[in-house]
């Protein structure tokens, strides 16, 4: 079982591992978040899980580019997107189309919720125990569908929610920065997926490069890097007002 995931803030990795280990304890991980350059080939005997976070209703462009390095040959696959309780919109259908174009056959798909990486008051503590139960149920169903696929390969395309053409990519100009707790340890500089943090001044952020993935926020040992400012607080308030008390549940799809 191969796990291929793009996971700047680590929630997508967590869910991918939960699914993968429930299907097969023998897993091989391919973390495509940071400078992944290796081309890999798979055949129809392999089983691959692709997992990505949702960025503004789409697959992150960096994830799409990295997935193009993986080549399948009618290889059965699971596709998973992880979002912060707002909406996953076109991300899952986009991931389906990307993986299909690379020679994979998506036989199952899922959209799961994790704590929002930019607005942490949205979906705090998720995936929680209720999510874990549904994730493990999904994994068991994926295992059963894989066995069925091996016996009788489906010719129809996996149907998932989403639209094509996809929604236009959008950018909300929210960028994290460091404060006076920064010790210049360089962790964020080394682990930023797009090299947006200058080594000479790691409290700053290159807005032309930053994709607001929140990895630097997640990994800073001093909790120095944060999102802040009037625009951030305004958008945060709107997000929380619109989604207060709303719990989005996992959605799953299978090729039948």
Residue 244, token pair as written in the block? 């207060």
- CA gap 85, 34 in Å, rounded: 25
- The answer to whether the beta carbons of residues 2 and 28 sit under 8 Å apart is yes
Residues in the chain predicted with pLDDT less than 70, given as ranges, are: 154-155
Strand (E) or helix (H) holding 19: helix 11-23
Q: How far apart are the first and last CA of the chain?
A: 22
Taking CB atoms within 8 Å and a gap of at least 24, the contacts of 61-68 are 61/169, 61/211, 62/6, 62/33, 62/193, 62/194, 62/211, 63/6, 63/32, 64/94, 64/98, 66/6, 66/32, 66/36, 67/4, 67/32, 67/98, 67/99, 67/102, 68/98, 68/102
Strand (E) or helix (H) holding 101: helix 91-101
Domains of the chain, start order:
2-165+250-254 (3.40.50.360), 187-226 (no CATH)
- The answer to whether the beta carbons of residues 248 and 85 sit under 8 Å apart is yes
Q: Write down the pLDDT at residue 232.
A: 96
DSSP 194: T
- CA gap 8, 225 in Å, rounded: 14
- CA gap 63, 183 in Å, rounded: 31
- The answer to whether the beta carbons of residues 15 and 110 sit under 8 Å apart is no
Reported as a single tens digit per residue, the pLDDT across 143-166 is 999 988 877 776 678 999 999 999
Q: Write down the pLDDT at residue 127.
A: 98
204 φ, ψ (degrees, to nearest 5): -90, 170
- CA gap 94, 141 in Å, rounded: 22
Q: Which residues of 190-213 are buried (b: 16+ CB within 10 A; e: fewer)?
A: ebbbbebbeeeebbebeeeebbbb
Q: Write down the pLDDT at residue 200.
A: 96
């Amino acid at each position: 079982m191969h796990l291929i995931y793009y996971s700047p803030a680590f929630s997508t990795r967590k869910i991918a591992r939960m699914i993968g280990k429930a299907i097969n304890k023998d897993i091989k991980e391919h973390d495509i978040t940071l400078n992944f350059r290796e081309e890999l080939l798979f055949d129809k005997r392999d089983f691959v899980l692709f997992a990505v976070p949702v960025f503004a209703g789409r697959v992150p462009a960096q994830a799409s580019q990295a997935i193009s390095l993986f080549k399948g040959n009618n290889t059965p696959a699971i596709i998973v997107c992880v979002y912060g309780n707002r909406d996953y919109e076109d991300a899952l259908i986009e991931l389906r189309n990307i993986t299909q174009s690379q020679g994979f056959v998506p036989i199952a798909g899922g959209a799961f919720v994790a704590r929002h990486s930019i607005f942490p008051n949205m979906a705090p503590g998720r995936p929680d125990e209720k999510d874990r139960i549904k994730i493990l149920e999904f994994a068991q169903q994926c295992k059963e569908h894989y066995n069925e696929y091996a016996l009788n390969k489906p010719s129809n395309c996996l149907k998932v929610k989403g639209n094509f053409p996809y929604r236009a990519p959008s950018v909300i100009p929210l960028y994290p920065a460091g404060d006076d707790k920064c010790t210049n340890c360089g962790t964020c500089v080394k682990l930023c997926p797009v090299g947006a943090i200058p080594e000479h001044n790691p409290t700053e952020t290159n807005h032309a490069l930053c994709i607001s993935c929140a990895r630097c926020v997640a990994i800073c040992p001093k909790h120095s890097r944060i999102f802040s400012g009037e625009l951030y607080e305004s958008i945060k308030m709107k997000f929380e007002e619109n989604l207060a008390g709303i719990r989005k549940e996992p959605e799953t799809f299978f090729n039948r």
